[in-house]
Structure 1
Amino acid sequence: MIRSAFPLVSLRPFHARRSALAAAALLALAGSASAQTTLAAPAQRITDQAIHADLQAYERTQGRIQALNDGGRPVRDYHLSKAQCWLDVSFHEYTRNDRSDFPQQALAESEKLIAGMEAGQSPLPMDTPLVNNAKHLRDDLWQRLRALQGTPGFMCAQQKAACGEVELVHAGNEFNQQQWRHSKPYIQIAEDLVNDAEAAARQCDAGPAAPQAVGPLVANVLFEFDRDRYQGIRTYSLESIDRALATIQAEGRRLRHVQLVGHADRMQGRGFDYNQALSERRARTVRELLAGRGVAPAMIDFSYVGDTRQVQQCAGVTPRAALLECLLPNRRVEVRFELE
């Protein structure tokens, strides 16, 4: 992550993996808006002069974001956050010697938003393009992010939502270049940001005129391939259930209802009916798990859809072990805690 030398614009302090730009000492002054930046071609990034010129370009872009913040646009603003996060992922991949067009295109998205804010454009675009033909991964997370927009609580969730969208694009770019193993960390970052955005929206005081709707809390329990019992659950997804229950208590919410939906991946070696039954057994296992954690069984409903709702396609992933790991998000039970 880019660590801005300007503390108000250090939008993502929770991901220390991108701290390198702090060492670059952001020297540019605000107001240095110019034509779109063109980074040195990858083959030319072999001299100190070329790299120094590119670092100065990143510094100038960070300075423009700082100037917008100094001028009154808050850090929590969706478009300021998104400009920062596009800059973050561009610089991150630049420093990893990404030879594709991703660093350039991500930087261009940051600069487009910056230019619009500098010009006072309204409304600013809310779309998030899949730059460099990034793979569209985890449609479930995209849907959850879209659902936040237009809700009263979105005003408190803008920063996390914006960065979650950018990280999904980042993950899709990594998937295209180096497959699932390299995209997985960024998917996890995106999922954490979506969860944080939803929590921020639930706790948001949007003012007395705003409707006091409380959105659901969502968790996913993931299963190993062809497994449906407790022992087949991926450990960290059990932690997501415990975090969700702890969040309900911490936020002082009342649990009204729990809806479970069981899923299977697309590996249909034993047929469609087998996957339907497998997804049902998984949903029943999670119902038992929740009951064991104190949730009244009468509050829990479940359904199952087999392999009809894949959130991750994993086309072309090989060998088989890598494919099964890539398909893990499809082997899930969605848990929606409806709150009051």
Structure 2
Amino acid sequence: MTQHTNALTVAALTLALTGLAHAAELTPQQARISDEAIYSDHTTYQQTQDRIQALNDAGRPVRDYALSKAQCWLDVSFHEYTRNDRSDFPQEALAESEKLIVAMEQGVSPIPTGTPLVNGAARVREDLWKLLGAIHGTPGFACAQQAVACGEVELVHAGNEYNQQQWRHAKPYIQIAEDRVADAEAMARTCGGVAPPVPVQLTANVLFEFDRRGLADVREHSLGTVDRALGRVREEGLSIAAVRLVGHADRMQGRGFDYNQSLSRDRAETVKAYLVGQGVDPALIAYEYRGDTEQVQSCEGLRDRAALHECLLPNRRVEVKLEAVRAPGADR
């Protein structure tokens, strides 16, 4: 796309938003103390929902990226409003929904696909951002656009929760984003019923409790990401060609660098044993360990030890990278 075309798109979107930028306006936070104020805000949400429905009624598919993203921004805004979030997040998320609605109503094309970190949300899980970004512009995006759009919004939602109450409150929304990414990758691979590219890459992160290394010490929901990856191998008629495991530890070095190296190695070996127990050929599994050298969550400023351990959970991980190919004779 040329710079001239980009400029026209931006100009058209700006024109479309003129006069409507504040149509979906919530009651100021300090004034949300009466039934009348709450009723007014619920009316605003319903009116915004009605505009999304009208776009769908006019023929815009539910799976459309812009329509999906408008709906997901609206959903997270209302979710936080009902949780009495007194920050600017509900209003700013609602505004993002309305920007997309106005663009669709005015026929702007193409609609920008950027995802702003509203309310100063932290950019958490860079790996998930990269996976979603890689699907944009591919043929499979046509099938995956709803999951991509909502995955991006949930990552912003998680980043907002992280800023307000750290990892403990962000993790449910990160898990939702992980599920969206997994769905998007699966939809993109099988889009149009065409055999997926060879090889197919499947990823998961197995998370461990602080200073633990056994299977009983794994967070159950994270082990589920491995199970879902293995399930997709079976469902899509694939066979595993190789598995690479990378073990990690958090930055707490009470027992020293060498201890964290050993801890990350043992975690990788635990995940290897689990995969073998699930029927993966041990000859296909390679692993390495990196101790505390690759942190994905810093958690600076936390003094409470229990809260710090919980915040550092993403660093106590084993990255699981499965390379799969279509099994001989598989028919899809």
- Aligned partners of 2:128 and 2:181 also within 8 Å: yes
Q: Who is 1:256 aligned against?
A: 241
Q: Which amino acid aligns with 2:322?
A: F
Residue 172 of structure 1, aligned match among 159, 165, 168: 159
Query: Residue 171 of structure 2 aligns with which residue?
Result: 184
Distance 1:158 1:206, change over 3 A: farther
Give the Å deviation of 1:199. 1.9
Q: Does structure 1 conserve the Cα–Cα contact (< 8 Å) formed by 2:299 and 2:312?
A: yes
Q: CA deviation at 1:143?
A: 2.1
Partner of 1:224: 209
Deviation at 1:40, TM superposition (A): 1.0
1:271 Cα deviation after fit: 3.1
The Cα of 1:214 is off from its aligned counterpart by 5.6
Which stretch shows the higher mean deviation, 140-149 or 36-45? Answer: 140-149
Aligned 8 A contact 1:155 1:206 in 2: no
Distance of 2:282 and 2:194 partners within structure 1: 36
C-alpha RMSD of matched pairs (Å): 2.1
**Structure 1 pair 213/184, CA: closer, same or farther in 2 (3 Å)?**
same
Mapped partners of 2:270, 2:258: distance in 1: 19
Q: Which residue number corresponds to residue 236 of structure 1?
A: 221
Report the Cα distance in structure 2 between the residues aligned to 1:237 and 1:245, rounded to whole angstroms: 13
Residue ranges of structure 2 left out of the alignment (5+ in a row):
1-18, 326-332
SS at match of 2:76: helix
Counterpart amino acid of 1:54?
Answer: D
Does the CA-based 8 Å contact 2:151-2:176 persist in structure 1? yes
Distance 2:294 2:130 in 1: 13
What are the within-5 Å matches in structure 2 for residues 311-322 of structure 1? 311-322=296-307
Please, which of 237, 245, 250 is the counterpart of residue 230 of structure 2? 245
Q: How many residue pairs align between the two structures? A: 306
1:193 positional shift:
1.6
Alpha-carbon deviations, 1:198-217, whole Å to 9, x = none? Answer: 22222222769xx8456422
SS in 1 for 2:243: strand
The alignment partner of 1:205 has SS state of helix
1:307 is aligned, of 262, 282, 292, to 292
Report the alpha carbon displacement of residue 131 of structure 1 after superposing the two structures with TM: 0.6
User: The residue matched to 1:176 in structure 2 has which SS?
Assistant: helix
Equivalent residue of 2:238, what SS?
Answer: coil
Is 2:106 the partner of 1:119?
yes
In structure 2, give the amino acid aligned to 1:223: F
Spell out, residue by residue over 1:157-216, the C-alpha distance to the aligned partner (whole angstroms, 9 max, x if none): 1111211111111122122222332222212222222222222222222769xx845642
Corresponding position: 1:265 with 2:250: yes
| AA aligned opposite 1:276 | Q
Question: What is the CA–CA distance in structure 1 between the aligned matches of 2:250 and 2:114, rounded to whole Å?
Answer: 29
Q: What is the one-letter code of the residue matched to 1:164?
A: G
Is 1:264–1:307's contact at 8 Å kept on the other side of the alignment? yes
Answer yes or no: is 1:95 the counterpart of 2:82. Answer: yes
Which structure 2 residues correspond to residues 10-21 of structure 1 after superposition, within 5 A?
none
Any idea what the Cα deviations from partners look like across 1:253-300, whole Å, max 9, x if unmatched?
121211111111121233333323322222222222212222112211
- Displacement of 1:110 in angstroms is 0.7
Q: Distance in 1 between matches of 2:293 and 2:53?
A: 46
- Asked if the contact 1:314/1:327 (under 8 Å) is kept, the reply is yes
Structure 1's unaligned 5+ residue stretches are 1-32
- One-letter amino acid of the counterpart of residue 226, structure 2: I
Alignment partners' CA distance in 1, 2:291 and 2:315: 10
Which deviations, in whole Å up to 9, do the C-alpha atoms of 1:113-151 show, x marking residues without a partner? Answer: 111222222222222111101122222222222222233
> Does the aligned pair in 2 maintain the 1:228–1:278 contact within 8 Å?
yes
Q: Secondary structure at the match of 1:254?
A: strand
- In 2 relative to 1, CA 140–35 (structure 1 residues): closer, same or farther, beyond 3 Å? closer
Shift in alpha-carbon separation, 1:213–1:78, aligned structure 2, 3 A: farther
Measured after TM superposition, the shift of residue 81 of structure 1 is: 0.6
Q: Secondary structure of 1:65's partner?
A: helix
1:313 Cα shift? Answer: 2.3
Q: Is the 8 A contact 2:21 2:95 kept in 1?
A: no
For residues 168 and 339 of structure 1, the distance between their equivalents in structure 2, rounded to whole angstroms, comes to 27
* Aligned position for 2:190: 203
CA distance in 2 between partners of 1:190 and 1:154 (Å): 17
Q: Distance in 2 between matches of 1:95 and 1:231?
A: 36
Instruction: Quote the Cα distance in structure 2 between the aligned partners of 1:174 and 1:242.
Output: 27
TM-score under structure 1 normalisation?
0.83
Q: Which amino acid aligns with 2:271?
A: V
Partner residue, 1:85: 72
